[in-house]
Amino acid sequence: MKIRAAKPTDLSEWAGLRQHLWPDSGSHIKELQEYFNGESIDITEAFVLEAPENNIIGFIEINIRNFAEGSRKAQVPYIEAWYIADDYQGYGYGQQLMVTAEQWAIERGFTELASDT
């Protein structure tokens, strides 16, 4: 398994995984296109988990928020979405994605990482 930054060729598979996470949300294509166009207000960085067959089986989306409950920092990296396809859950891949998000935040000088969970 390989974790890497999301790229435009991932759009369809990434949107499909988001549909599993949020089945009542409709299409996710527009929001992901905004991300790739640098226009997203919800996603600052995204990483995908790529299986050996080159298909995307998971992702994590990070945003920088101006507020996070319990934080006194002016800006806080925030996990907006985190998902592993059903057949791949329970193998530690979600944890690997979280470690990648943590490393990304640390490299940018952040000392906190927030989420809704």
User: What is the rounded average pLDDT for all residues in the chain?
Assistant: 91
At residue 21, the pLDDT reads: 92
Cβ(43)–Cβ(62) below 8 Å: yes
Contact 107, 62 (CB under 8 A): no
The answer to whether 77 and 110 are in contact (CB under 8 A) is yes
CA distance 18 to 80: 11
Report pLDDT for 65: 81
| End-to-end Cα, the chain, rounded Å | 25
> Does residue 94 register a pLDDT over 90?
yes
Cβ atoms of 17 and 56 closer than 8 Å: yes
Residue 5 — pLDDT band, cuts 50, 70, 90?
very high
With bands split at pLDDT 50, 70 and 90, how would you rate the model's confidence at 102?
very high
pLDDT tens per residue, range 46-93: 999 999 888 999 999 999 987 777 777 778 899 999 999 999 999 999
Q: Is 52 helix (H, G, I), strand (E, B) or coil?
A: coil
On the CB side of 70, CA atoms within 13 Å amount to: 6
Candidate from 17-21, 34-38, 65-69 with smallest mean pLDDT: 65-69
